Amino acid sequence: MKIAVVTSFPPSKVTLNEYGYHLVKNFVQKHEVSELLLVTDKTADPKQLDFDKSEKVKVRECWSFNSYANLFTIVRTILKEKPDAVLLNLQFVKFGDKKIPAALGLLIPMFLKIFGCNTIVLLHNILEQVDLESAGFTKNKWVEKIYNFIGTNLTRCLLQSDRVAVTISKYVDVLSAKYKADNVVLIPHGSFEAPEAANFDLPAGPKKVMAFGKFGTYKKVEIMIEAVEQIRKHSDEEIEIVIAGTDSPNTPGYLQSVKEKYAHVPGIVFTGYVEENQVAQIFNESAVVVFPYTSTTGSSGVLHQAGSYGKAVVMPDLGDLNLLVHEEGYRGEFFNPECAGSLADAISCILNDDQYRRSIAQANYKAACALSMDKIVSMYLNRFEEIEMQKTTKLLVRNV
Model confidence over 55-64: pLDDT tens digits? 999 999 999 9
Predicted model pTM: 0.82
User: What is the pLDDT averaged over residues 199-209?
Assistant: 93
Domains of the chain: 2-190+373-399 (3.40.50.2000), 207-370 (3.40.50.2000)
Q: Strand (E) positions, 7-96? A: 35-41, 57-63, 85-90
> Distance (Å, rounded) from C-alpha 378 to C-alpha 30?
8
Residues in the chain: 400
Strand partners, 166: 123, 186
User: What is the pLDDT averaged over residues 117-131?
Assistant: 83
User: What is the pLDDT averaged over residues 65-74?
Assistant: 97
User: What is the pLDDT averaged over residues 20-36?
Assistant: 96
Residue 249 has pLDDT above 90, yes or no: no
Question: How confident is the model at residue 322, as a pLDDT?
Answer: 74
Cis before residue 316, ω within 30 degrees of 0?
A: no
Residue 216 or residue 398, greater confidence: 216
User: Which residue in 150, 127, 196, 162 sits closest to 385, CA to CA?
Assistant: 162
Question: How confident is the model at residue 277, as a pLDDT?
Answer: 82
Q: 193: pLDDT confidence band, cut at 50, 70 and 90?
A: confident
> Distance (Å, rounded) from C-alpha 7 to C-alpha 220?
27
Q: 67: pLDDT confidence band, cut at 50, 70 and 90?
A: very high
Question: How confident is the model at residue 208, as a pLDDT?
Answer: 97
Percent of the chain with pLDDT over 90: 68
Q: Express each pLDDT in 265-308 by its tens digit.
A: 999 999 999 887 888 899 999 999 999 988 766 667 788 899 98
Q: Which of 93-107, 126-140, 199-213, 383-397 is predicted least confidently?
A: 126-140
What is the H or E stretch that residue 3 is in? strand 2-6
Residue 321 has pLDDT above 60, yes or no: yes
* CA geometry: angle 310, 209, 13, nearest 5 deg: 80
User: Which residue in 81, 17, 12, 96 sits closest to 46, CA to CA?
Assistant: 12
User: What is the pLDDT averaged over residues 219-243?
Assistant: 94
Percent of the chain with pLDDT over 70: 93
Largest CA distance in the chain: 80
Q: Which residues contact 88 (CB under 8 A, 6 or more apart)?
A: 5, 6, 7, 108, 109, 119, 120, 121, 122, 161
Q: Which residues contact 70 (CB under 8 A, 6 or more apart)?
A: 63, 64, 95, 96, 101, 104, 105, 108
Q: Over the chain, what is the mean pLDDT? A: 90
> Distance (Å, rounded) from C-alpha 274 to C-alpha 280?
10
Q: Express each pLDDT in 126-172 by its tens digit.
A: 876 555 455 445 566 666 677 678 879 999 999 999 999 998 888 99
Question: How confident is the model at residue 194, as a pLDDT?
Answer: 65
Q: 3-class SS at 269?
A: strand
* Strands ordered across the beta sheet of 286-290: 268-272, 239-247, 207-215, 286-290, 312-316, 333-335
The DSSP string of 334-381 is EE-TT-HHHHHHHHHHHHT-HHHHHHHHHHHHHHHHHTBHHHHHHHHH
Q: 395: pLDDT confidence band, cut at 50, 70 and 90?
A: confident
Residue 203 has pLDDT above 70, yes or no: yes
Question: How confident is the model at residue 267, as a pLDDT?
Answer: 95
